[in-house]
Amino acid sequence: MSGQDAARRWRLVLGRYAGDTLGQDALDARDRELDASLDYLYGREYDGKVRSRGGARGAGLDPSQIQALDWLERSRKLFPREVFERVQSHALERYAMRELLDDPATLLSLEPNQALVRTLLRMRGRMNAATLDAVRSVIRKVVDEITRTLRRDFVNALQGRRNRFRQSALRSAQNFDWRATIDANLKHYDPVRRQLLIERPRFNARVKRQLPWDVILCVDQSGSMLDSVMYSAIVAGILSSLPAVRVRLVVFDTNVVDLSHLAHDPVQVLLTVQLGGGTDIGRAMQYCESLVQSPQRTVLALVSDFMEGSAPGALLASVRRLAEARVRLLGLAALDQDAQPVYDRAMAQRLADRGMQVAALTPTHFAQWLAEVMA
């Protein structure tokens, strides 16, 4: 990196506080636009500290000079998409730029992504009624995108297992049978090029499942579980659309709420949950236990960080009874925004000792697990 490039980067990092050594001369016209955009947002950090100490506000760009929507559109053009999403997230979560949330048109202009959905759900109670339709629209866009990504995995896993003894005319990656393909094409092996020429790819048929299964999703809605709640709502929506699965959706903190009547609509579920509060997992599991009608054809997935706020006796006893009744039990450990597991490992071990399989699974791997236990 050249000295000039290093000076430019440091000037953008330090902003208005770079001093004379790294002044505006280090920036070209586009960099000055970047500098103004960054200062509009991150200058609030310094301004807040100055005001808290009774000092005068430093020179900067306030909303009367660059309106929030204008700043948003400029930033969208200036920054790469990944950077822009990070800047947008900071504006909403860290600096609470209400200008972006109080107007439906402005809200609809935001980049729809999971970070924005997290912010909207956290701030939902502080928004005015006029923006609720816009909030619903933004959340639906993100939910629909995630659903399109995950739906195929669940449909393929749960509507039928592969039958290696019957071939299918339906050609898809999920049905591809590489063993049979090699066997059927060995005569086309080219020893000179050391390549196997595939003339007849083989694909497995699928056996449709007949008897329905009950899937109970018991979801922790405490404040740290937002990402898991989002994916649980989407998974419930996908499962509700499959004919061989009956879905019950239960969310809990210290209270237990049965949202099974909304399981088909993940957006409505997300707008209904109340994030925050304590955690009483035992009470939730006891309620789910009362929902079990056919134990040997029931899957109960507890989605939680397993940080029990009540005495653990009720939770452990419920898990033991369910396991003895041969209910398939899975404890889905909470994942953070980077898909890293965050949970109470000691409690997870105690649950495992009483018959619950505990794992940190992505939704795709959860679909595969369901296919295995429901085979």
Q: For 197-207, how does the pLDDT look when each residue is reduced to its tens digit (9 = 90+)?
A: 777 787 765 54
Residue indicated by tokens 């049905």: 175
Nearest to 289 by CA among 331, 252, 321: 321
241/171 same-domain check? no
- Partnered with residue 215 across adjacent β-strands are 247, 299
Domain's final residue, options 153, 184, 207? 207
pLDDT of residue 78: 83
**Same domain membership, residue 245 and residue 198:** no
CATH number for the domain including 237?
3.40.50.410
In a domain, 101, yes or no: no
Same domain flag for 220 and 368: yes
Is residue 350 included in any domain, yes or no?
A: yes
- If asked whether residues 200 and 221 sit together in one domain, one would say no
- Flag whether 296 is in a domain: yes
Residue 187 contacts residue 215 (beta carbons within 8 Å): no
Q: Residues 338, 265: one domain? A: yes
Confidence tier at 64 by pLDDT (50, 70, 90): very low
Rounded to whole angstroms, what are the CA distances from 166 to 161, 162, 170, 182, 209?
A: 12, 9, 12, 16, 16
Q: Is 347 in the same domain as 266?
A: yes
pLDDT tens digits, 216-272 = 999 999 877 888 899 999 999 999 998 889 999 999 999 999 999 999 999 999 999
Beta strands in 210-258 (DSSP E): 213-220, 245-252, 256-258
Mark whether 297 and 341 lie in a shared domain. Answer: yes
Best-predicted range by mean pLDDT among 81-95, 171-185, 212-226?
Answer: 212-226
Position 228 in a domain: yes
Residues 302 and 332 occupy one common structural domain? yes
Please identify, among 66, 100, 118, the residue that sits at the C-terminal boundary of a domain: 66
Judged by DSSP in three states, 165 sits in strand
Residue 140 placed within a domain? no
Q: Which two tokens stand for residue 93?
A: 């979560």
Q: Clarify whether residues 310 and 363 are in a common domain.
A: yes
Give the domain-ending residue among 66, 83, 104: 66
The model's pLDDT over 311-367, given as tens digits with 9 standing for 90+, comes to: 999 999 999 999 999 999 999 998 766 677 889 999 999 999 999 999 988 888 898
216 and 168 in a common domain: no
The C-alpha atoms of residue 361 and residue 307 are separated, in whole angstroms, by: 18
Tell me the percentage of the chain whose pLDDT exceeds 70.
75
Number of structural domains (the chain) is 3
Ramachandran quadrant class, 369 (left: phi over 0; alpha: psi -120 to 50; beta: rest): alpha
Contact 290, 300 (CB under 8 A): no
- Domain of 21, in residue numbers: 1-66
Position 130 in a domain: no
Same domain, 221 and 330: yes
Higher pLDDT, 124 or 80: 80
Give the position of tokens 């990196």: 1
Residue given tokens 């939704």 in the structure block: 363
Q: Cα dist. 88→49, 101, 135, 212, 305 in Å?
A: 22, 12, 16, 44, 28
Distance between CA atoms of residues 154 and 158, nearest Å: 6
Please state, for a pLDDT cut of 90, what percent of the chain lies above it.
Answer: 35
**Do 278 and 337 sit in the same domain of this protein?**
yes
Q: What is the pLDDT, as a whole number, of residue 46? A: 61
292 domain residue, yes or no: yes
Domain for residue 267, yes or no? yes
